[in-house]
Structure 1
Amino acid sequence: FVTGATYCEVGPGDRVAQVANPSFDPVTFEVWNTLAAGATVVMMPAVAETPLEQWIASLAAHRITVVFLTTALVDMVHRAAPGAFATLRVLLFGGETADPEMARGLCTVRPPERVLHVYGPTEATTFASFFPCTAENLAGLDRIPIGFPLQDTTLRVVGPDLDAVPDGESGELCIGGPRIATAYLGQPGLTAERFVVMPDGERVYRSGDLVRRRGDGALEFLGRKDRQVKLRGFRIELEEVERAVVATGFVTAAVVEKAGEGMAAALIGFVVPKSPTDTRADALPRLLSRALADTLPGYMVPRRWHVADSLPVTRNGKVDRPALLARLSDNARAAAGS
């Protein structure tokens, strides 16, 4: 992962922000890529633990040239202060579905020298692919590709029997190369399920991510096999609904979850409005439901909406989905008490 990295070259003159929780795998990039290149690691507080204006100012104050943030945190900073990353040489972001309009904003409003959308599960050592974002190559896209393989990495799109899937068709992403983990500690069954040997002898990791390969070779992320839910007999990919919600243009971030069971089950949408005028209690849900009715079947349109200024994030900077569902329980108890 460190040796011969060409997707994001770090040199002795760089100052790389160490922002990630030490238990979060991007710390591998922040520390080891930096030290191996003779560059400087600059310890910085987490974005969520510091007043945002102060954190943004610290990028310039500490002369930071390279930083990785999760998609949720980049969106938070960019919405609060467009152009906040202008002093950077390279901004890397990833970990969650990204709003193409947000990314286009990063590339047009006082942009860093380079913006990279990166992807990779922990089992493949931090990043496995990258996509250089520019205003030109993001034009007209409704999703940001996860892109092309890093050095010494293979990315295969396969069917259920590990057979190759033609370009343009969806399949599971299998990742190969020397950075693939050895095993899950103490879990031989799970290890055998997820780490497999291909017919040509290469050992790969079955990511559980659904992707398809574009004509230019870049991969597009379509969703997770294990985030498929059933609602009154219909199978629903939650990521597909989330992408459709963001594509309406009314929100900058969206999370959709299934709550309840049986006939009481419903899809719940948690959203951050793009315009402050859309924060009225009834306006945004009505706009979203009407827009989605044109693009999704009725059973895929969330029944309830929760509008917030921001979505809760974990210590690793990813959207805290359990916390969102806990809000539902808290609201239900409050309603029952009243």
Structure 2
Amino acid sequence: MGSNGANGSSGAMSACARLRQMLAQPNEIITAVGVYDGISARLALNEGFKCLYMTGAGTAASVLGMPDLGITNMTDMVTNAGMIAGLDPTVPLIADADTGFGESLAVSRTVRAYMQAGVAAMHLEDQPLNKRCGHLGSKELVTEDVYFRRLRAAAATRDQLRAQTGQDIIIIARTDSLQALGYEAAVDRLRKAGEAGAEVAFLEGIVTKEQLENVCRDIKDTGMPVLLNMVSGGVTPEVSIAEASKLGFRIIIFPSAVLSVVMEAAQAQLKHLKETGLQKIPESRKHQGPKLLFEAMGMDERVEFDRKVGGQSYTQGI
């Protein structure tokens, strides 16, 4: 995979260049935890994750309060991605871009928007515009011609902007064809996706250990790294990061790692409040008030910045 280390004229390494550098380490696996809003992204950064993943399902749920059924549009997705990528521009963000939100010209516009938002990598899939979560049933597909046209449009836009501005983005080809067409046909789509300009392969909805064991080997000769999607409670057999690395995967994403536990905890809190009239507050958080949240969201750094530029707002403390 090619590399472009500069970001504008500053000479600083861009998030995309950093992700390319990580992918260039042959025995390392990139772990990208799924985030969907400012809180989840901040907490992941605080824990020291070196790569983030913006989940489309989480974006649909948190931004729109809707299911992952192709309801989000480009503006919804790129606005959320730009906010997350901007929290720490040194940490690469891989972002769901669904179908690219249209035909060639729309895909090109989407790629430009994601690049300008600071996204390091984006994945495009072969479902129609009325797509659905990859771990639901009865998924439909577009033809190979339509799919590869999306990828060629994405790759051409990436190459054009890279030449003009030095910006860069990694194009990930996701196929949802395993369910309808079978393993061999799905792998064949990914191989052809590489010829269309994709740089990373993503077989969605893996359902057997055998498929997990074979896919990296079956795509190895293309030179494309393979991404594994580990959805909480999804159709894919659960493997650890170490196991995924041993199987040959180069990227592993955990889209619902945060969302699933937040949903459960929030439902329990709301149920308790409705039934008792009281909030359930852990002992460790009693008497902390909102300060604990604000500190996790970077309050100390913001206050210090204000002090350094001569601000007086926080001289008496918070």
TM-score when normalising by structure 1: 0.30
Higher relative contact order (CA 8 A, sep 6+): 2
Higher helix share: 2
TM-score when normalising by structure 2: 0.31
